[in-house]
Amino acid sequence: MIILHADTNHPILMKKLAEAGHHNVEGFEQSREETLQNQHLYDGIVIRSRYKIDKEFIDAAPNLKFIARVGAGLESIDVEYTQECGIKLFSAPEGNANAVGEHALGMLLSLFNRLNKADREVREGLWHREENRGVELDGKTVGLIGYGNMGKSFARKLRGFDVDVIFYDLKEGIADENARQVSYDEFFEKADVVSLHTPLTEKTHQMINKEFIASFKKPFWFINTARGKSAVTEDLVEALKEGKILGAGLDVLEYEKSSFESLFGNKKNVSISAADPIPEALRELMFMPHTLLSPHVAGWTQESHEKLATVIADKIIGSFGVENK
């Protein structure tokens, strides 16, 4: 098969496909429009998030047998139309689930122990011990929304702590030894920590809003390593001000581009420049001491870089086999 690679990935991906007799085409510099013109040439496309694959794109590719996304989410692909056309769809949530679980745990522990705030203060010559008294994780109830690969990974990471791990998921009967499945009512009643592990869909878009936050019986800590557009930033900021949310660790932001590339257009010092068109809610969030932000890197480790590529290569080869050279 002739396979277009729209993004750079770990070299093991092309290596494994080439060894299986497939022909790799590097389209790293091609625009979406340029790809559309040549799409009839390809049997498959491997992409991360550089551009959307919609009906127009698929219709321009009469020979397309598969679309492979080197990542977990599929919101940049018209999944329904892809399936209608009989095109196989591959993703690789298994490849970065461990990285996401570790990142979520790191964010939570940092927030509980005020490490980001304390570090910044010490570097500024401040020695505030009482103001940085931490909170222990043991004895807390950690609530996960979504119990797929990412949620399960975080639950496994929590096994070393004396915590009650609960989760809510639309799919029933998926509890295991690491977490128990509960109703939304029990979730709202018991959760001390809320960690989001859902794909971006119509149901999860702006799901974390003021009404959702108001449903909880007690203040909680919030972790989002899923998708930024699942949470309304203005409502998060308001809840942080009011103490309804005690702290927030956000690896993803509502205002990210669909490609997940730079939020700021590669500008520097955007947080202190009034001329930059940054939403006020985001500007406030950036200066809050009980927030921890990272640039969509929860699943972005040295190890996951290779594992994601390996998973995708193995799925393609497993489905289409080895071609004669």
Query: What are the pLDDT digits (tens) for 47-89?
Result: 998 888 999 999 999 999 999 999 998 988 999 999 999 999 9
Instruction: Report pLDDT digits (tens) over 110-156.
Output: 999 999 999 999 999 999 999 999 999 999 999 999 999 999 999 99
pLDDT mean over 285-294: 94
Q: Where are the beta strands (DSSP E) in the chain?
A: 2-5, 23-26, 44-47, 66-69, 88-90, 141-145, 164-168, 180-181, 193-196, 220-224, 245-250, 291-293
Q: Which residue has the higher pLDDT, 263 or 159?
A: 159
pLDDT at 275: 47
Q: Where are the beta strands (DSSP E) in 182-273?
A: 193-196, 220-224, 245-250
pLDDT at 292 over 70: yes
pLDDT mean over 273-298: 86
pLDDT at 19: 95
Of the listed ranges 236-240, 264-268, 304-308, the one predicted with least confidence: 264-268
Q: Determine the Cα–Cα distance for residues 121 and 9; give it in Å rounded to an integer.
A: 38
pLDDT at 261 over 70: no
Whether 84 is a known active-site residue: answer no
Using the structure block, give the residue that is written with the tokens 């490849």. Answer: 95
pLDDT at 257: 77
- 255 SS3 class: coil
Q: Which of 5, 10, 50, 296 is catalytic?
A: 296
pLDDT at 138: 97
pLDDT at 258 over 70: no
Res. 276 pLDDT band, cuts 50 70 90: low
The second-level CATH assignment, the architecture, of 97-256+261-295 is 3-Layer(aba) Sandwich (3.40)
Using the structure block, give the residue that is written with the tokens 């940085």. Answer: 132
Every domain range in the chain assigned CATH 3.40.50.720: 2-91+303-320, 97-256+261-295
pLDDT at 263 over 80: no
pLDDT at 181: 98
Res. 278 pLDDT band, cuts 50 70 90: confident
Whether 205 is a known active-site residue: answer no
CB 90 within 8 A of CB 67: yes
Instruction: Report pLDDT digits (tens) over 222-243.
Output: 999 999 999 999 999 999 999 9
pLDDT at 13 over 90: yes
**Cα-Cα-Cα-Cα dihedral sign, residues 209, 214, 215, 218:** positive
Q: Which of 156, 227, 254, 305 is catalytic?
A: 227
Instruction: Report pLDDT digits (tens) over 179-226.
Output: 999 999 999 999 999 999 999 999 999 999 999 999 999 999 999 999
Whether 227 is a known active-site residue: answer yes
Of the listed ranges 112-126, 157-171, 198-212, 255-269, the one predicted with least confidence: 255-269
- Domain 2-91+303-320, CATH among 3.40.605.10, 3.10.20.880, 3.40.50.720, 3.40.50.280: 3.40.50.720
pLDDT at 8: 93
Q: Determine the Cα–Cα distance for residues 151 and 144; give it in Å rounded to an integer.
A: 6
Res. 271 pLDDT band, cuts 50 70 90: very low
Mean confidence (pLDDT) of the chain: 92
pLDDT mean over 26-55: 90
Q: Which of 186, 189, 256, 306 is catalytic?
A: 256
pLDDT mean over 83-96: 96
Res. 325 pLDDT band, cuts 50 70 90: low
pLDDT at 42 over 70: yes
